[in-house]
Amino acid sequence: MSKNDQIENNLVPIDNKDAGSASNFTSERGEKNKLFGENVKGSLRDFGISVAATVIGNVAKQGMSLAGKVLEEAGQKSDKTFGERMKEELISHGWGLVDKLDDDLGDRQREFEANLQDNLSDRFGSGFGEFASATNNIINRQTAMQVARNMRQTMENSDTKRDAGLVIPEDIRSFTDIRYGADPRWNLLDVYRPYDQDGKGGELKKIPVIVNVHGGAWIYGDKETYRFYCAGLAQRGFAVINYSYRLAPEHRFPCALIDTNNVFFWLSEHSDQYGLDLNNIFIMADSAGANIAGQFICMLINKEYAANFDFRPPEGIKINAAAFNCGAYDPLKFMGEKELMKGLVTQDETPIRSGILNVSDYINEAFPPVYLMSCVGDFCFKFLEPMKEALNRYGIEHLTKIYGSEEEPLFHVFHLTVGDDLAEEVNDRECSFFKNYIKRSRKQNVKHAAQ
């Protein structure tokens, strides 16, 4: 039996009396509210959020058939144009749609929701509040899952096209699929380093390390997506750690941060084996990865921030400098306490808990020097200014570079396009920035690598 068949079997028919009440209720609320309800439920239906129907069926069994009828009617009369536009926006702009929907619907949404909840609460008493909360959570999570699937497919298609024909350069030594945590699928990392940094006998000299935190809207990407980019960074004289982390919405915040923390534990424990200089650690990150990397740095430097979590970073780890590209540093400052964002990212949906997603609120004077890159045409450009303001507030050394123009805009994370002249310029500049913060030691320890 298919999932849709199971859902249909769970639905309980609504009797004529309740159907008439639902119809009268909808008419009483006017065409404006009715249209909004039809559009929203239509968009959910287009997304395939069938779990909502299951919930309504269960509620109907308990005598709350009016709520089921309202949602059923709204779904049947859906506006396909709205649903199609919603999906297009999600695919092309990711979380940006959340803001757009709030702007477009505004007071109309709040009026409809208030009227609907008041009416149903009057009819069904306090039990409706529990039902509404449970329904919203399920619809929110299921919507997030469908959004994630759509976005992942689109992003994967784009990245596959971008990287077609690329191979790991012959001058790069690779150590791949190294476990750093408990999850056999996601807790894997690769190490890339240039052969010309090896000793004469094949020893691995300790060289500066870049830990790359990949982007992907918190829901997409892994080390395979970034292998050519990271190998290119290694060609610039660094050992590069390229790792996968668990993705939302299946694994919500702080899972990616926990995995990042575990990567640094792995680094501290395997530095001799892979020739990694713990005195010279740098972080490279883009998009949502800049948010995760920023959170990790804040854990290192801010005890108040670290106290929000039940895990601790490894002792003695210090970040010399960071480079953030097209970063989404403070998602909730622009997305607000939006249900879709919380479904995608957070597992504790209270404002206090979700508020620790924002990086700039926890920066202090111990934050490392930062290279900030963005471009005209990047949908994350709006995140740049608050980050700069926070760095300026505490006197943190930083360099900002903005590419493109209104006449010739670029696109989000354009620097990942290996072989593109402008992308290579970005990567050259950022690695040169890192080299300004390398600490020179008198002696480099060497260790034969495990094969």
- CB 193: neighbour CB atoms within 10 A? 27
Q: Please give the pLDDT value at position 240.
A: 99
What was the pLDDT predicted at 440? 82
What 3-state class would DSSP assign to 75?
helix
Q: What is the pTM of this model?
A: 0.70
Strands 239-243 and 276-286: unpaired
What is residue 336's three-state secondary structure? coil
Contacts within 8 Å (CB) and 24+ apart, 263-270: 263/180, 263/189, 263/211, 264/211, 264/296, 264/313, 264/314, 264/317, 265/180, 265/314, 266/178, 266/180, 266/181, 266/189, 267/209, 267/211, 267/241, 267/317, 268/314, 268/316, 268/317
The mean pLDDT value of the chain amounts to 77
Q: Compute the chain's Rg from CA coordinates.
A: 25
Domain boundaries, the chain: 3-160, 166-447
pLDDT given at position 54? 40
The amino acid occupying position 445 is N
**10-42: per-residue pLDDT in tens?**
333 334 444 344 344 334 444 444 454 454 444
Query: 377, 383 in Cβ contact below 8 A?
Result: no
**DSSP H or E stretch at residue 387:** helix 384-393
pLDDT for the residue numbered 366: 98
- Phi and psi torsions of 188, nearest 5°: -125, 150
**CA atoms 58, 62, 65, 67: torsion sign:** negative
Q: What is the pLDDT of residue 30?
A: 44
What DSSP designation does 438 have? P
Tokens for 424, please give them: 């290579």
Q: Is the peptide bond before 331 cis (omega within 30 degrees of 0)?
A: no
What pLDDT is stored for residue 128 in this prediction?
47
Cis before 184 (ω within 30): no
The single-letter DSSP state of residue 35 is: H
**43-54 per-position pLDDT tens digit:** 444 443 333 344
* Beta-strand runs (E) in 338-385: 370-375
Model pLDDT, residue 146: 81
pLDDT at 139: 55
- Residues in the chain, pLDDT under 70: 1-141, 335-354, 441-451
What pLDDT, on a 0 to 100 scale, did the predictor assign at position 29? 41
Residues 6+ apart with CB under 8 A from 130: none
Contact present, 354 and 260 (Cβ < 8 Å): no
d(CA 25, CA 282): 61
Superfamily of domain 166-447, CATH level 4: Alpha/Beta hydrolase fold, catalytic domain (3.40.50.1820)
- For residue 254, the surrounding DSSP H or E stretch is none
